[in-house]
Amino acid sequence: MSASDVTVMVTRGNHHVLVRSVMIAFQDLYRVLDFVGQGTFGAVYKVSNLRDGDYFALKILKSEFVPDNDARIRFEREFELLARLRHKNIVRVHDSGTKSGFSYFTMDWVEGGSLSSVLRQTERFDSSEVRIVLSQLLSALGHLWDNEIVHRDLKPDNILIDDSRKVYLVADFGLAKFGAHLEHRPAYWAGTIPYMAPEQFCHAGDVDIRADLYSLGIVGIQLLTGSLPEFVLSSDDPVAARYSVDFDGLSNQLRQFAPSCSLPTVLCKAIMPDPNARWANPVEMKQGLWT
């Protein structure tokens, strides 16, 4: 296959992504089928293995970060981190390396879509579905917690869901912190603003698993009600907004969607501004979910 044979433009919404160079670089290993999306540092493509036709997700370091040694180290660290994890609700990684200047790794391909894409179609989930989805994600977060990992960017875009409603924490761990490799850069924001815990705005290097539980609480509210809570959308002072929540009003709103289960209480506790007032860990929050 020559360069002149491969000029493909893949369209997703308003994004036009030229995949010609990727197709050429990996033509002896994979057939590039589609552009899926992009995360913090990487772009993801759906590919099929030329050897057996199996589907994989191919993640490459985005071109603008190639000269950035710190970004490359983060990208490689992401693979190393994922290779440590073995959990049914976390996508597995398989292969990694550098090819024609592209740093890359491959992951399981999950048939379905992101939780955000499903939300756009269904608007909201009923309370029983929300509890099932959250239970699976808490199980995955429990595995991260056991491995001293904090995701720091938990949001619907980073969660995959298949047709059977099985969910997977997707491999966008470019902002994760773990073990002895914790970062302490007080001015460094890590996360996506609507889902970030208050402490992530000022002390991103000091957060623990309770920041992920906060993010999961916001995701749970979005699943249950079909929208983000108003206070997380404040652009003037997002930190102050998180400290001024009317929890009685929020609880009453959530009970309109889940009148006969513990879900409203669980979600409100997850998003308390003070980390010490939240669930202590994923195991505790999961137990609360089913009581």
Catalytic residue numbers, as ranges? 153
What is the C-alpha separation between 91 and 87, in angstroms, rounded? Answer: 8
Q: What share of the chain is helix, strand, coil (3-state, %, to 5)?
A: 45, 20, 35
Helices of type H across 125-203: 127-146, 198-202
Kindly state the helix (H) or strand (E) to which residue 74 belongs, with its residue range: helix 69-83
What is the C-alpha separation between 224 and 240, in angstroms, rounded? Answer: 24
Query: Roughly how many angstroms between the first and final C-alpha of the chain, as a whole number?
Result: 59
Strand bridging mode 15-18 / 55-61:
unpaired
Sort 152 into a burial class: Cβ within 10 Å, 0-12 / 13-18 / 19+. Answer: buried
What is the C-alpha separation between 257 and 280, in angstroms, rounded? Answer: 26
What is the C-alpha separation between 289 and 264, in angstroms, rounded? Answer: 9
Q: Tell me the sheet residues that pair with 17.
A: 10
